[in-house]
């Protein structure tokens, strides 16, 4: 007897943007391996008769390492259980869902991916910042900030990124914001380029911080910006019409 695995994106936060398919799959689960990013509103509705396994990262400490999460998924499915791996946003956008589906397939396990609304688009647009706009940006580039952009083995080409005329959206970039801003500036990005940081998007304590490439590090430090946050760099930030709370 063998079960089935689901890689489920919970969206950017809150039940309102959780898809109907995600809700259906979560409610049918025997086991849910979850991160903290879906947020308390969603996590509080996980089925209480299911085995709930916390896989989150707190203050830089992983509750479970990635290989342990993957091994648990395989183990539980082989016990004949319906296993949901629940992630914030979309499981394939910097969510390591691609690695997990590889492992599951290697073990001959049936897996379904349930896409989620990505915070990379939803969080900026919910504060009035479109990631593309005919006047400002005809392209958008999503990058991870969860690496040191100055290290030799970086997979990010900062020279190319600094020349792009469109929008840069950075996930998991708060910790490395000083290095990111410096790398873009060194490679010629206009220091007057607008930047917005949206903390805890779509949650009651959401906060927006705006500045320019030249001062955003100082502004963010002064305001005590903390993750999780989405960083938007480009002219579209000028369309933000709110206030900094």
Given the residues 35, 81, 87, 189, the one annotated as active site: 35
Quote the CA–CA distance of 6 and 112 in Å, as a whole number: 5
Rounded to 5 degrees, φ, ψ at 242 are -90, -165
Q: Which of 91, 142, 145 is nearest to 121 (CA)?
A: 142
Please check whether residue 233 is in contact with residue 214, taking contact to mean a CB–CB distance below 8 angstroms: no
Quote the CA–CA distance of 225 and 21 in Å, as a whole number: 34
Q: Is 165 a catalytic residue?
A: no
Quote the CA–CA distance of 9 and 101 in Å, as a whole number: 14
Q: Is 172 a catalytic residue?
A: yes
Quote the CA–CA distance of 77 and 114 in Å, as a whole number: 17
Quote the CA–CA distance of 8 and 20 in Å, as a whole number: 11
Given the residues 57, 65, 151, 165, the one annotated as active site: 57
Helices 177-186 + 216-223 axis angle, to 10: 170
Q: Look at phi and psi of residue 128 and say left if phi exceeds 0, alpha if psi is from -120 to 50, else beta.
A: left
CA-based R_g, the chain, Å:
19
Omega of the bond prior to 228 within 30 degrees of 0, cis? yes
Name the DSSP letter for residue 133.
Answer: B
Given the residues 126, 148, 172, 215, the one annotated as active site: 172
Helix (H, G, I), strand (E, B) or coil at 214: coil
Please check whether residue 121 is in contact with residue 131, taking contact to mean a CB–CB distance below 8 angstroms: yes
- Active-site positions read 35, 57, 172
């Amino acid at each position: 007897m063998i079960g089935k695995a689901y890689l489920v994106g919970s969206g950017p936060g809150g039940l309102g943007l959780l898809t109907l398919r995600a809700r259906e799959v979560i409610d049918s689960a025997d086991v849910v391996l979850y991160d903290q990013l879906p947020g308390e509103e969603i996590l509080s509705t996980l089925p209480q008769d299911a085995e709930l396994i916390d896989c989150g990262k707190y203050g830089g400490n992983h509750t479970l390492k990635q290989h342990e999460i993957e091994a648990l998924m395989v183990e539980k499915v082989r016990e004949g259980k319906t296993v949901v791996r629940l992630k914030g946003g979309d499981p394939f956008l910097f969510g390591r869902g691609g690695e997990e589906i590889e492992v599951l397939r290697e073990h001959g396990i049936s897996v379904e991916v349930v896409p989620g609304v990505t915070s990379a688009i939803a969080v900026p647009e919910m504060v009035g910042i479109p990631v593309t706009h005919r006047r400002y940006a005809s392209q958008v580039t999503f990058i991870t900030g969860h690496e040191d952009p100055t290290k030799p083995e970086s997979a990010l080409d900062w020279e190319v990124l600094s020349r792009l005329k469109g929008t840069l959206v950075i996930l998991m970039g708060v910790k490395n914001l000083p290095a990111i801003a410096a790398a873009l500036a060194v490679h010629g990005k206009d220091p007057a380029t607008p930047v917005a940081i949206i903390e805890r998007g779509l949650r009651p304590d959401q906060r927006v911080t705006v500045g320019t490439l030249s001062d955003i590090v100082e502004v963010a430090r002064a305001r005590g910006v903390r993750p999780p946050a989405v960083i938007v760099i480009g002219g579209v930030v000028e369309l933000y019409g709110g206030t900094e709370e």
